[in-house]
Amino acid sequence: MTAIKHALQRDIFTPNDERLLSIVNVCKAGKKKKNCFLCATVTTERPVQVKVVKVKKSDKGDFYKRQIAWALRDLAVVDAKDAVKENPEFDLHFEKIYKWVASSTAEKNAFISCIWKLNQRYLRKKIDFVNVSSQLLEELPKVTEESVPSGENQSVTGGDEEVVDEYQELNAREEQDIEIMMEGCECAISNAEAFAEKLSRELQVLDGANIQSIMASEKQVNILMKLLDEALKEVDQIELKLSSYEEMLQSVKEQMNQISESNHLIHLSNTNNVKLLSEIEFLVNHMDLAKGHIKALQEGDLASSRGIEACTNAADALLQCMNVALRPGHDMLLAVQQQQQRFSDLREHFARRLASHLNNVFVQQGHDQSSTLAQHSVELTLPNHHPFHRDLLRYAKLMEWLKSTDYGKYEGLTKNYMDYLSRLYEREIKDFFEVAKIKMTGTTKESKKFGLHGSSGKLTGSTSSLNKLSVQSSGNRRSQSSSLLDMGNMSASDLDVADRTKFDKIFEQVLSELEPLCLAEQDFISKFFKLQQHPSMPGTVTEADDLDGGLLSRQHNSGTALPVSSEKDMIRQMMTKIFRCIEPELNNLIALGDKIDSFNSLYMLVKMSHHVWTAQNVDPASFLSTTLGNVLVTVKRNFDKCISNQIRQMEEVKISKKSKVGILPFVAEFEEFAGLAESIFKNAERRGDLDKAYTKLIRGVFVNVEKVANESQKTPRDVVMMENFHHIFATLSRLKISCLEAEKKEAKQKYTDHLQSYVIYSLGQPLEKLNHFFEGVEARVAQGIREEEVSYQLAFNKQELRKVIKEYPGKEVKKGLDNLYKKVDKHLCEEENLLQVVWHSMQDEFIRQYKHFEGLIARCYPGSGVTMEFTIQDILDYCSSIAQSH
């Protein structure tokens, strides 16, 4: 074991500046017997580090390697398993429990004793020695030379700690001597124990020889004994001094420990004081409200600009103090709780003062604004609320503060504002619309005629009065044709352009006054009540929405900020509540305009469409855009109703059996409607609505013109069709309506077809017998008879031809044409002025027939010398003379 220890010291620990103090040969309990060594070592440099090192023989050679090391300070328990009986097993408790089995109990005891001494000397740490004999821990174990070699016994388990400290390595000469000695013994390497025993026996022999030599000289022995006694006395004295020094050093160590602990406590106290000062400074800096702010919140003047500014600054400071982010544990401090309660009381008190003052401002505004209504009663203008808005906007920051601190009072102010302002705006808007209605109808007396009573401005006229008005206006427009047609009750009036222009200007002024009023109020609500109104996707507010601020209650029980969409809904609800009378008043005004003249729906559709388009460009989801959009639906319905009424009245037309038809009234009305519509809808946004109406109307006109033509008894069907479609074609050509290009071409075609039909039908009468003769000739040719053989037919021979021709001399032809001219003149109306056109067409057709007759004579009666009694020039002269004579 000594040789192994020497080899380990040399190969493993000396390079690491460590000294090997004790060694034990062990293997792990319960496993295969893989031996290793546990070594107790100390470093040669200060501070001394004590370790337990596990050393294992390498698998690839005969050298040893360091496997793992534990610091002795990490050792918690040493368990020897049994304090009475010899047991080679023991446990070491480091970070986990290591179970070992020693090669002998003596080695285990020596190792545990070394660990105990190292702990006492260097660590003074309380390591638990469990199941270890107390005798083993108090003195060195008495190990026989047979169980442990004498060298190991002296080096590891010697008499006191100084033996451990005085261990020194062999120098070079000593190593050389030992090597020479070991070379003289063959078993020194192969059997180290036998070699050690041999050396021990030789040493004993030498010791015996020395003792005998000494004993031989008694005098020297006595001197030696005396010296030994004196040495022992000196040793005792030195031990006493060392003991006293140790006690003194122990006292100093305890005092130094106390001083160190005291310094630690002082440092800890200083650290705590610094932290406490930091916490107190934090609370004082963030939760201290200036006296000036407190006074402003309690007594500040909310009527003056300076007082409002002071209250605003104080409210912001209070909000910052209340919203300070307290650190953990602050809310448990009594002073903090008291300060928070003081802030809450201040907030409640100031919120009540602010709410009360603003409510008074709202009420006062209602009274002040009511006094200015009289001056606007005769003018078509709405009162300006800008001064009121300007005064209230001074409180905008305070309203924002109230919204974030006391939402209940903020919501109450919002409801009160809506209540007061809705009543005020209702009075102003109703008076405004009353003035507009009076200006539309002309006088108050005339306004009663249209069903306007009192200041409410509501339409109360009965259906009978509307029908009466419609009949009268229709009768005025159609006075020229009343003898021909009974058109029934038409909805469009015959007011002149000036009256319609007047209505258009009034309606435009109404919308122009309402639009800035609503936009200004919406902008004020957004700024005063701190609500966002950024554009978003189009939306509408239905009547089912809570107009009394239900959204406020649903969204704001906790006082947190509303999302943008909810705030926009809130703005719309407030505007709907405040201006709830605008939509019904506009509908009443629209009903009145439609009642005065159904064509007013065209003006209203264009104006309303333009204002809706403008409002949607600003904010498609705003109250103004939604309201005007709803009213536009009503205007569009009235417009559609106007178109439907005109079509219905076309279908109800009854023609007179005693008078010629001429231009039908609904054709003239279409011309009037189209001309008016084109002037109104020029550059309008809703041109598509007019184009659809055009399509419906022109179809109705076409169908009903043909219907009247079929029912006409006095005027030929072709004349009715020709005149009316010519008028329609002329109208469409003049107005150049792009969506009716196809209808214009159709009207021209119908006019041309019926003109030709009428001309052909009329020309059959002046030369009736001649027409019948040549029709018979053409029939024979059509049956297969050759043209030159027709003259051999008994009914169509030359004599019959001459006989028929003689019946139509030039004088008779002129007389027939004169009668034809008179009849055409009776058929045609003067308004359309188509007589000369028709007469010229008849002249051309007559000449064409004349040429046709001459061609048949030349082909069917060749060489007969038969000719007509008049020439083409005679026909031209006859037609010209007849036209000039009339």
- Distance CA(776)–CA(781), nearest Å, equals 9
pLDDT-above-90 percentage for the chain? 14
- Distance CA(42)–CA(18), nearest Å, equals 6
pLDDT top residue among 119 and 452: 119
Measuring CA to CA, how many Å separate 610 from each of 421, 436, 674?
28, 20, 20
- Close Cβ partners of 410 (under 8 Å, ≥ 6 residues apart): 399, 402, 403, 529
pLDDT tens by residue, 150-197: 334 333 333 344 434 445 666 777 777 777 777 766 655 667 777 778
100 pairs with which residues across the strands? 28, 90
pLDDT tens by residue, 235-262: 999 999 999 998 899 889 889 999 998 9
Q: Identify the band that residue 463 occupies on the pLDDT scale cut at 50, 70 and 90.
A: very low
Measuring CA to CA, how many Å separate 424 from each of 184, 355, 668?
132, 20, 49
CATH node for 1-136? 2.30.29.90
Q: Identify the band that residue 270 occupies on the pLDDT scale cut at 50, 70 and 90.
A: very high
DSSP secondary-structure letter at 452?
Answer: B
ω into residue 47 within 30 of 0, thus cis?
yes
- Distance CA(399)–CA(351), nearest Å, equals 10
Average pLDDT over residues 354-368: 83
Position 180 scores a pLDDT of: 76
* pLDDT winner (highest mean) among 208-222, 616-630, 645-659: 616-630
pLDDT at 446 over 60: no
Taking the mean position of all CA atoms in its chain, how far away is CA 622? 17
Element (DSSP H or E) covering residue 79: strand 77-79
Taking the mean position of all CA atoms in its chain, how far away is CA 538? 14
Q: Identify the band that residue 111 occupies on the pLDDT scale cut at 50, 70 and 90.
A: very high
Position 818 scores a pLDDT of: 77
CA torsion 434-436-442-445 (nearest 10°) is: -10
Q: What are the φ/ψ torsions at residue 18 (nearest 5 degrees)?
A: -130, 155
Position 691 scores a pLDDT of: 87
Position 851 scores a pLDDT of: 86
Q: Can you state the angle between helices 396-405 and 334-371, rounded to 10 degrees?
A: 130
Average pLDDT over residues 848-861: 84
Average pLDDT over residues 93-119: 91
pLDDT tens by residue, 727-756: 899 888 988 888 888 988 998 898 889 888
pLDDT tens by residue, 767-803: 777 778 888 888 888 888 888 888 888 888 888 888 8
Q: Identify the band that residue 479 occupies on the pLDDT scale cut at 50, 70 and 90.
A: very low
Q: Which two tokens stand for residue 321?
A: 């103090």
Position 471 scores a pLDDT of: 33
pLDDT at 92 over 90: yes
CA torsion 45-46-51-55 (nearest 10°) is: 0
The ranges assigned to domains in the chain are 1-136, 198-287, 671-765, 784-885
pLDDT tens by residue, 494-530: 445 777 888 888 888 898 988 899 989 888 988 888 8
Q: Which two tokens stand for residue 523?
A: 């902008």
Taking the CA atoms of the chain, what radius of gyration do you get in angstroms? Answer: 65
Q: Identify the band that residue 102 occupies on the pLDDT scale cut at 50, 70 and 90.
A: very high
Of 121, 116, 168, whose CA–CA distance to 141 is shortest?
116
Q: Identify the band that residue 540 occupies on the pLDDT scale cut at 50, 70 and 90.
A: very low
- Close Cβ partners of 140 (under 8 Å, ≥ 6 residues apart): 113, 157, 158, 159
Largest CA distance in the chain: 214
Position 565 scores a pLDDT of: 62
- For the range 740-743, what are the long-range contacts, defined as Cβ-Cβ under 8 Å and sequence gap of 24 or more? 740/694, 740/695, 740/698, 743/698, 743/702
DSSP assignments along 351-404, one per residue: HHHHHHHHHHHHHHHHHHHHHTTGGGSSSS-PPP-HHHHHHHGGGHHHHHHHHH
pLDDT tens by residue, 408-436: 989 999 999 999 888 898 998 999 999 98
Stretch among 578-587, 694-703, 773-782, 827-836 having the lowest mean pLDDT: 827-836
pLDDT top residue among 470 and 15: 15
CB 605 within 8 Å of CB 688: no
Q: Which SS3 state, helix, strand or coil, does residue 542 take? A: coil
Position 886 scores a pLDDT of: 64
CB 143 within 8 Å of CB 112: no
Average pLDDT over residues 860-864: 82
658: Cα within 13 Å, side-chain hemisphere: 3
pLDDT at 552 over 80: no
Q: Identify the band that residue 378 occupies on the pLDDT scale cut at 50, 70 and 90.
A: low
Task: Judge if pTM exceeds 0.75.
Answer: no
Taking the mean position of all CA atoms in its chain, how far away is CA 112? 77
Element (DSSP H or E) covering residue 41: strand 36-43
Mean model confidence pLDDT for the chain: 78
Q: Identify the band that residue 539 occupies on the pLDDT scale cut at 50, 70 and 90.
A: very low
Residue where the block lists tokens 């009034």: 506
Q: Which two tokens stand for residue 881?
A: 């003379």
CB 323 within 8 Å of CB 341: no
Average pLDDT over residues 829-858: 79
Average pLDDT over residues 56-66: 80
CB 490 within 8 Å of CB 669: yes
Q: Identify the band that residue 265 occupies on the pLDDT scale cut at 50, 70 and 90.
A: very high
pLDDT top residue among 475 and 203: 203
Position 21 scores a pLDDT of: 92
End-to-end CA distance of the chain: 164
- Distance CA(104)–CA(8), nearest Å, equals 20
